[in-house]
Amino acid sequence: MVREDGKRNFALRESDGSEPSVFSGNTPRQAAKKAARRLSDVGDSEESAPRVEIRLREKGTDKVHIYEAWAWEETSPEDSPDWMPQQITKGNVSKKGIEHLEEV
């Protein structure tokens, strides 16, 4: 379902089928990058960050977007505002494919 502002909602699916979180974005990749930033296993650099598979179900459809996701911490830029923490978490994703849920 597309909202008035053009964004779509994507539910993060756990291996047991539960959907504890919802991320929004104009594209599935945008929502997946938001989800990647909240991974519990974070590396020291992009190269050393552990890769994790995440699955996002597009709300209102049977599509499940599958991504390889990773996150790492780095120092905030020198020109960052005062409210920004010294360490920020960045994330990235690589699409593996799309599955369609079977209605049981």
Q: What is the CA radius of gyration of the chain?
A: 15
Q: What is the pLDDT of residues 59-84, one digit of tens each?
A: 999 999 999 999 999 999 999 999 99
pLDDT at 57 over 80: yes
CA distances from 37 to 3, 62, 91, 99 (A): 23, 25, 5, 23
Q: What is the pTM of this model?
A: 0.88
How far, in Å, CA of 91 to CA of 64, rounded? 20
